[in-house]
Amino acid sequence: MAKLTPTQREVLGHCQDWSAAFEVAERRVDDGARTDWKRTQDVLMALHKRGLVEYGEVNATYRITDAGRAALSPSPSTREVASHPVDKSNNGENLQCKL
């Protein structure tokens, strides 16, 4: 899955329950973002196309999906290295390669 932009992450974070675009925009503005309902609606529609939010046609509201929650959660670190068992059959002796 493609990475989310900071704006997309904020919108997903404010869309936990069925919310209209103007409600999500209002929550973002309360948190210090400079946005309006139209820009937020555009972001929500793009997130809907990716399956990260559901759209309720009756009330024109959006809600985050399980895929959206997964996209918000931190991904496992790729720096972790699996530990491999050490072969101790040579009893610590240096093995030399013969050509």
Cβ atoms of 63 and 75 within 8 Å: the answer is: no
Establish if 92 belongs to a structural domain.
no
Would you say the pTM of this structure is higher than 0.85?
no
Q: Give the separation between CA 6 and CA 62, rounded to whole angstroms.
A: 19
How many independent structural domains does the chain possess? 1
Q: Which domain holds residue 14?
A: 7-72
Q: What are phi and psi of 19, to 5 degrees?
A: -140, 145
Establish if 22 belongs to a structural domain.
yes
Establish if 61 belongs to a structural domain.
yes
Residues 6 or more apart whose Cβ sits within 8 Å of residue 28: 10, 11, 14, 35, 40
**pLDDT (0 to 100) of residue 79:** 37
CATH code of the domain containing 13: 1.10.10.10
Establish if 68 belongs to a structural domain.
yes
Residues 53-99 have pLDDT tens digits of: 999 998 999 999 999 999 998 766 433 434 445 455 555 555 555 54
Q: Give the separation between CA 1 and CA 3, rounded to whole angstroms.
A: 6
Establish if 12 belongs to a structural domain.
yes
Establish if 99 belongs to a structural domain.
no
